[in-house]
Amino acid sequence: MIQLPDCIQDTGVSLVEAIEQRRSTRSFSDSCITLPELSRILHAAQGITSDRGLRAAPSAGATYPLSIFVVAENVVGLAPGIYRFKPEENTLETVKTGSYLDDLSRAAYGQQCLSSAPLAIAVSADYSITTSVYGDRGTMYVHIEVGHVAQNIYLQCAALELGTVAVGAFTDLLVAGILNLEENETPLYIMPVGRL
């Protein structure tokens, strides 16, 4: 397990400014991302924000069916590899080591924004966690939740003067294989992150 740094310092960017600056970015510089920056992004996505275990993004009935993965290539203090974010401990669990952004790019129909970024955030869902409570309607709730998570990532990236884009065009089976997803997990989004 890799312990992530706490996200205490304010970026100095207001929410209004972050909303105004939020854009989809598909081109990134060659610069690396730092571990504190990554930690802020993960906290915005699914970080624990209360003593009751509630998270930064709303979830129907606090069921939290989403998993967040980091596909790291050029992150200071983090070896290239795929990691699963564990919000309860604010840690990264190694899924596998090595470079996988080119594989993700191929699985996403050759989108260069994935192969040129220093990292990508991938979001998967286990629909059964929410549908066991809400029936078939739970599927819609999962899709709403991933939108909340993606917007939080966008806004945190804007506050950090980083770029990202939500990628939904990919072959599910290929992405699931790259991320080593369980049979009950479905990939929903991939978001490359990099410097402008």
> Can you give 125-161 as a three-state secondary structure string?
ECHHHHHHHHCCHHHHHHHHHHHHHHHHHHHHHHHCC
Using CA atoms, how far apart are residues 118 and 1, in angstroms rounded to an integer?
Answer: 21
> By the 8 A CB rule, do 48 and 87 touch?
yes
Percent of the chain with pLDDT over 70: 99
Length of the chain equals 196
Average pLDDT over every residue of 104-114 = 97
Which residues are registered as beta bridge partners of 71?
82, 120
Tell me: the pLDDT tens digits for 7-52?
A: 766 788 888 888 888 989 999 999 999 999 999 999 999 999 999 9
Model's pTM, two decimal places? 0.96
pLDDT at 21: 87
pLDDT at 18: 83
Please give the mean pLDDT across all residues of the chain: 95
Q: What tokens were used for 190?
A: 């991939």
- Which helix or strand (DSSP H or E) is residue 188 part of? strand 186-195
Average pLDDT over every residue of 174-185 = 98
Q: Which residue has the tokens 């920056």?
A: 37
pLDDT at 8: 64
Tell me: the pLDDT tens digits for 53-91?
A: 999 999 999 999 999 999 999 999 999 999 999 999 999
pLDDT at 166: 97
> By the 8 A CB rule, do 33 and 162 touch?
yes
CATH number corresponding to 2-195: 3.40.109.10
Q: What tokens were used for 98?
A: 């090595």
pLDDT at 10: 77
The ranges assigned to domains in the chain are 2-195
pLDDT at 87: 97
CA torsion, ordered 13, 18, 21, 24, to nearest 10 deg = 130
